[in-house]
Chains A and B, each alone.
Chain A
């Protein structure tokens, strides 16, 4: 990408403009999440950790996005590897707890739009805060087909996940908005909740 930019300086301006735009939008999302938190009286188990985790979600995402484009031509799309990102971010979450298990089933070829991946990371941060409030163990299973990505999640202390919404009704607003932003939907089953959303 660097060589390409040197040959086409006009593209440098375009890349910088897009980066600045992305940067401002991400700051806006962080502010929106904080403002919705106070407007909806959302009480996190650990506010500070939630904010730190969101910042690291952003950091890992852009590390990967810019690194993966470094040796290539100018980025023609904004998709990045789902598996690479999730491995990094879930390892980060696991570094402060041993109570998260995850499985990535056949996601090696799957690429997801960078903004959607960030929202998915924010959803994981919400799930982890639910876990901490329950003092529980969280299991995650990612899978995908050509059109959809699915994430099955379950908490070991919840016997029937069909009642998941009732359990977190007061804390649900941000979680629900994030899922809607992905155009995703919940599927409540006894043993797990499945979140699925379209990709590509």
Chain B
């Protein structure tokens, strides 16, 4: 079966060119032009690697997708961009891409970057397989299921009842064991994870505070701001000013 590559690029000439190069080299390539299309294709097309334009819609939307992929999926991605200034490179590094392709590029640059990324992915999966044995012993299976549930649903309101259901334990046993194994209560753990993701989005994307609040399952801007102040001691907009130019 052909390796599936998703091209996320809003310049039709560039995306068509890359698709032609990939098809010629035996890959199955699909094109997306927007954040929403990319997220949808993660489930429908199931790419093994993503080529991502940074300046999507001229809003650095690519870094938002990179940030999303880094926190939500294990699909490796390579940025494509004409930006080679240190500041942009520093920003994109925080989203942990597996590669960086600078425009203008040649066929051989694309193919060698992809081959290297796929090779590294395979090597890291082999490595993860070995680590999973250790991870298994760190958490019991019910707690591991609850943590996976939190990770998958971090952008929604997560209710403790759901975690209890997923774990298969009784309410008091689950809460006691969760605190023992993870070191904090389920509520505190979810709260910390959401704030970690919010900090990353504030630093690395141009999403508005309102959009970030909505992405994290908060129904209002003020409840998110209050939560963020409680966690970080400053408001989301002050945090962004402090850490971004």
A interface residues (Cβ-Cβ under 8 A, vs B): 17, 20-25, 27-33, 35-36, 39-40, 177-178, 180-181
CB<8 Å pairs between A and B, sample of 6 = A22-B82, A24-B103, A28-B104, A30-B104, A36-B13, A181-B11
Contacts of A29 in B (CB 8 A): 11, 13-14
Cβ of B105 under 8 Å from chain A = yes
Known: A29-B11, A31-B17, A39-B24. 20 other contacts (CB 8 A): A21-B82, A21-B83, A23-B82, A24-B102, A24-B103, A25-B103, A27-B104, A28-B103, A28-B104, A30-B104, A31-B106, A32-B14, A32-B16, A33-B13, A35-B21, A39-B21, A177-B13, A177-B16, A178-B13, A181-B12
Contacts of B106 in A (CB 8 A): 31
Contacts of A177 in B (CB 8 A): 12-13, 16
- In B88-113, the 8 Å CB interface with A consists of 102-107
Measured CB to CB, the closest approach of chain B to A15, in angstroms, equals 12
Q: From B23, which residue of chain A is reached at the shortest CB distance?
A: A39
Contacts of B85 in A (CB 8 A): 17, 20
Q: From B107, which residue of chain A is reached at the shortest CB distance?
A: A35
Contact A36-B103, Cβ < 8 Å, known A21-B82, A24-B82: no
Contacts of B12 in A (CB 8 A): 177, 180-181
A28 touches B105 (CB 8 A): yes
User: How many angstroms from the CA of A5 to the CA of B175 in the assembled complex?
Assistant: 61
Contact A32-B13, Cβ < 8 Å, known A24-B103, A39-B24: yes
User: How many angstroms from the CA of A128 to the CA of B227 in the assembled complex?
Assistant: 61
Q: From B106, which residue of chain A is reached at the shortest CB distance?
A: A31
User: How many angstroms from the CA of A86 to the CA of B228 in the assembled complex?
Assistant: 52
Contacts of A28 in B (CB 8 A): 14, 82, 103-105
Contacts of A22 in B (CB 8 A): 82
Contacts of B84 in A (CB 8 A): 20, 24
Q: Which of B11, B12, B85 has the most CB of A within 10 A?
A: B12
The 4 closest A-B pairs by CB, nearest first: A24-B82, A39-B20, A32-B17, A28-B103
Q: Which of B13, B17, B21, B104 contacts A24 (CB 8 A)?
A: B104
